[in-house]
Structure 1
Amino acid sequence: MDHISSHLACDLPLNGVSEDMDLLHIDVEAEVVDTKPGRDEALCSKNVLRKQRHWEKQIAAKKSRRKEEKQRRKQNREEESASTAEIPHFTKRVMKAITRERLIGAQATGLKLCVDLSMTDSMSDKEISRLAGQLRRLYGSNRKASRPFHLFLTDLKEGSRLYKECLRMNDGFLNYMMDVTDGSFLSLFSTETIVYLTPDAESALETVEADRVYVLGGLVDESIQKKLSLSRARELSVCTARLPIDEYMVKKNNPKNFYSKILAINQVFDILLKFCNTGSWTEALQMWFPQGKGYVVAQEAS
């Protein structure tokens, strides 16, 4: 018994020392491990700060663009209100009849604008959907215009992806007051009268003439294949022109350093409408050229 007791007594202190050593070992390891996260946290903090500053710049840029767009819309509303202040108010039924008569008149004597839809086969479903939306907005602008264009849609084949998407997205598409054909615009108009509008043309459009037919390439290209509409026009041997952006606009500083002269077909159409009503490219570009494209009307032009 004494031998067993003494043996246990000898083990107890050793176990205690062993536990203390284990604890000491753990503390040392903890101190060693803790030194690494400190450096990692410092690096992490720098990355977080850098990302935060970048995010804040993006937010500030978006707020600035929204503010500019809001001011421009306000200005547009004020101008529209001023232009219609003396016009008597009619019921919706009467206004619909007036609009219809105006569009019928345009089909007889209005300026001619055609959307060439022959390049849709190479477009994705998403691009087709965007193009259908642009056609809806283009037609909506023409309905509201005091002097609407005579509109044509060419190479729009019944049953095609674009045709089906127009039916799906645009209520009353089949009743749109425009000429629609599955043939080429060359079957409707003589080559000498056609002006194909493309951002890559050398010559700037100076005016809009009654004896000309202005053609827009119905193209939404998210992969940005350059000069597609220009190649199309050259293939058909027709005259080309571009909006006079270089003549009336300059680049402005923007956080993304982004500049583009490529516009949606409804945006080009709104600029043409405004020019035809005012005779001023400055006013037309100032009102309808998108702020996010990185250009503003030059001060000397305004």
Structure 2
Amino acid sequence: MKSFLFYLLLFLHTDSDSDHTQLSKRVQKAITKERLAESQSTGLRLCVDLSMTDFMSDKEISRLAGQLRRLYGSNKRATHPFRLILTDLREDSRLYRECVRMNDGFLNYLMEITEQSCLDLFPAETVVYLTPDAEEALETLDADRVYVLGGLVDESIQKKLSLSRAGELSVRTARLPIDEFMVKKNNSKNFHSKILAVNQVFDILLTFCETSSWTHALQAWFPASKGYTIPAGDSAPLPAAAQPQGDD
């Protein structure tokens, strides 16, 4: 594969606007591929545990497939992508088939897909399983750790399946520091939830890696519909790379 430097040099020696447009897309695509390839050896390790899909309905499976597409898109755009690993994903599973059906190019995604679990790949003492039901708040991200997100949609997460799964694995658990950096806000339904889609948690972690600020990360990606907000006076202008998205 030609390196992005090849395309960059070609771009600089091209005259027409149409050729520039075509080459600029090729340059960006090549840069993205190299960045994702490099992340496989240097990126912070993050697994999505997909072992719990038997608990999910077909509708929930489809939602999860869409969330994985958004998650991968965020990793592609990141300045410093994670080393992304989908674990416990069997080729004969409903989720695998739905990912292939819904997500164009899924089989060519620049990430690792395996039927193995995170403990087959990494020592248990390095694993931190993120679950909203954990007692310990996540303070920072450590390059020596392996972070695991439970591949569940909102309805399933409420059953504390991710906490139970972490217990089965006998690994450390942690939660996003929502209580430490956010407060409940009044709303007509008195609704407050800390349960997020897997892609939302991923975006929060990516932004924290870029900014070293939980305030920035939560302000950018924690949905307003969940009933929490950054306290007045603590909020700050969001970095250009952190643009809030939809709920899932």
| Shorter-chain TM-score above 0.5 | yes
SS of the residue 1:276 aligns to: helix
2:80 corresponds in structure 1 to: 147
2:201 corresponds in structure 1 to: 268
Q: Is the 8 A contact 2:158 2:195 kept in 1?
A: no
Aligned pair in 2 of structure 1 residues 202, 166: CA closer, same or farther (>3 Å)? same
Q: CA deviation at 1:222?
A: 2.3
Partner deviation per Cα, 1:248-281 (whole Å, 9 max, x = no partner) = 0001111121110000000000000110000000
How many angstroms apart in 1 are the aligned matches of 2:76 and 2:185? 33
The residue type equivalent to 2:205 in the other structure is L
Q: Is the 8 A contact 1:110 1:147 kept in 2?
A: yes
Aligned pair in 2 of structure 1 residues 238, 224: CA closer, same or farther (>3 Å)? closer
Of the candidates 159, 173, 187, which is equivalent to residue 226 of structure 1? Answer: 159
1:236 corresponds in structure 2 to: 169
SS of the residue 1:157 aligns to: coil
1:147-296 equivalences under 5 Å are: 147-222=80-155, 225-296=158-229
Q: CA deviation at 1:227?
A: 1.7
1:133 corresponds in structure 2 to: 66
Q: CA deviation at 1:299?
A: 2.6
TM-score, structure 1 normalization: 0.69
Which 4+ runs in 1 deviate beyond 3 A? none
Q: Is the 8 A contact 1:115 1:216 kept in 2?
A: yes
Q: Name the structure where helix makes up a greater proportion of residues.
A: 1
SS of the residue 2:148 aligns to: strand
Q: Is the 8 A contact 1:123 1:221 kept in 2?
A: no
SS of the residue 1:222 aligns to: helix
How many angstroms apart in 2 are the aligned matches of 1:100 and 1:177? 8
Identity of aligned residues (%): 75
* Structure 2 residue runs without a partner (length 5+): 1-20, 236-248
Q: CA deviation at 1:214?
A: 0.4
2:36 corresponds in structure 1 to: 103
How many angstroms apart in 2 are the aligned matches of 1:192 and 1:185? 11
Partner deviation per Cα, 1:116-143 (whole Å, 9 max, x = no partner) = 0000011100000000000000000000
Q: How many residues matched?
A: 214
SS of the residue 1:98 aligns to: helix
* Structure 1 residue runs without a partner (length 5+): 1-88
